[in-house]
Amino acid sequence: MNAVVVSNRDTTRAAAEQLLAALGDTPAKIARTLYDAGIRGERCHGSACPIATYLLRSDLGLYDVALMGNIAALYFGDGSNCICVDIPDAVAEFIDRFDTGAHDELLAGAR
């Protein structure tokens, strides 16, 4: 693996961790941050939930995002490079609440 790919992985991982932490420290704060940013998503769809949409719309240059439990798989470049990032507990709790019916205002198509 060349140095550029390693550097991109480290930079992308650190930036993604900062973005996730900046969402807030409670599910309610996270929902508000996402709502204010115009982020919407689908329930029970790890590549299209509000958190995945938020990461995809960031300046990270991601190709795709897959959320699985407390891990976010981030695909960048042409999609063949992947890193995994731990999802903070508050974000994981938000995802669980969203997937089980909370925060209808964040559903795709909601205003």
**The pLDDT value given to residue 6:** 53
Predicted TM-score (pTM) of this structure: 0.90
User: Count of domains in the chain?
Assistant: 1
What is the full DSSP assignment across the chain?
--HHHHHHHHHHHHHHHHHHHHT-SSHHHHHHHHHHTT--B-TT-TTTSHHHHHHHHSTT-EEEEEEETTEEEEEETTTTEEEEEEPPHHHHHHHHHHHTT--GGGBTT--
101 in a structural domain = yes
Query: 102 is in which domain, residue-wise?
Result: 3-106
Query: In degrees rounded to 5, what are phi and psi of residue 71?
Result: -125, 140
Q: Which of 28-37, 75-84, 99-108 has the lowest mean pLDDT?
A: 75-84
> How confident is the prediction for the chain on average, in pLDDT?
92
**The pLDDT value given to residue 2:** 40
111 in a structural domain = no
**The pLDDT value given to residue 104:** 97
7 falls in which pLDDT band (50, 70, 90)?
low
Please give the share of the chain, as a percent, with pLDDT higher than 90: 78
